[in-house]
Structure 1
């Protein structure tokens, strides 16, 4: 078979990089020694101020940034900095009836506990939602919802 007259026959198959689609002209993340350079880094061109101390007449200002991790509230007291009064505190807990309390009450009613036993979930703190308040300024700092 002969090749069509408009398309020349390629002399060699494409390289792996060309076949896979890797950009062979993409710069390396680290310097690669060129011809005539030693692989230990000697003879490489460094930026002009690399390895030199800054001049004494230009002081370097450093800004320290403190990032506070978000506080996760559960059913235990949390030690934290109150956002309202900026004091280090251990939160005070208060329990309120929430969705889990009411669903437990409804579930007990469906099981036949109608004679007052369905009200037991309102006496159990482990089924209630928890509010975290600051003991110094009484501000609400967080909540934990069971459902």
Structure 2
């Protein structure tokens, strides 16, 4: 009596190793057209006998050609990744997301929180005669909006406070 060791194959219905499928079988390369039916053995008169014993014509197979992909035509799609833009109080060169052109942003100054706090603190210090409105004339105390010079789209805002 022989006991199979760990290195021996156990006896079974199929002890022969089978090879894995080839690459062509896996991805079905060159399967663009259906395979024609195999010829039937018998007389080569062109007539086949039907179930009732009478002759009949062989069926005609119509195949529609499937377009073969062109190996030279490769679809290339270019993707541009735009880095996040940090807006400050100076113009920025960037690609406008609205019109897709390289631009240098136009700046617009608006009164923000720092402007109003400066005005309020000047009022508390006694500058009531109109000097408290000076922060509204100083660009360094106002918020900055960045616009595209081509399409006038708002691209970003820099808030001072």
Same fold per TM (> 0.5)?
yes
In 1, distance between residues paired with 2:101 and 2:76? 27
Select the structure with the greater relative contact order (CA < 8 A; seq sep ≥ 6).
Answer: 1
For residue 136 of structure 2, what is the aligned residue in structure 1? 122
1:64 positional shift = 6.6
Q: Per-residue deviation at 1:93? A: 0.3
Aligned Cα RMSD in Å?
A: 2.2
* Partner residue in 2 for 1:104: 118
Instruction: Please give the alpha-carbon distance, in whole angstroms, between the structure 1 residues aligned to 2:76 and 2:103.
Output: 30
Structure 1 residues 87-116: Cα deviation after superposition (integer angstroms, max 9, x where no partner): 000000010011100000000011111111
User: Could you tell me the TM-score, scaled by structure 1's length?
Assistant: 0.56
Shift of the alpha carbon at 1:67? 2.9
Name 1:81's counterpart in structure 2: 95
Structure 1 residue 66: Cα displacement: 4.1
Could you tell me which runs of 5 or more consecutive residues in structure 2 were left unpaired when the two chains were aligned. Answer: 1-74
| TM-superposition CA deviations, 1:26-61 (whole Å, max 9, x none) | xxxxxxxxxxxxxxxxxxxxxxxxxxxxxxxxxxx9
Instruction: Tell me how far apart the structure 2 counterparts of residues 68 and 87 of structure 1 sit (CA, whole Å).
Output: 12
What are the within-5 Å matches in structure 2 for residues 3-82 of structure 1? Answer: 66-82=80-96
In structure 1, runs of 5+ residues without a counterpart are 1-60
TM-score by length of 2: 0.51
Shift of 1:68: 1.9
Greater C-alpha radius of gyration: 2
Distance 1:89 1:64, change over 3 A: closer
**Cα displacement (A) at 1:63:** 7.7
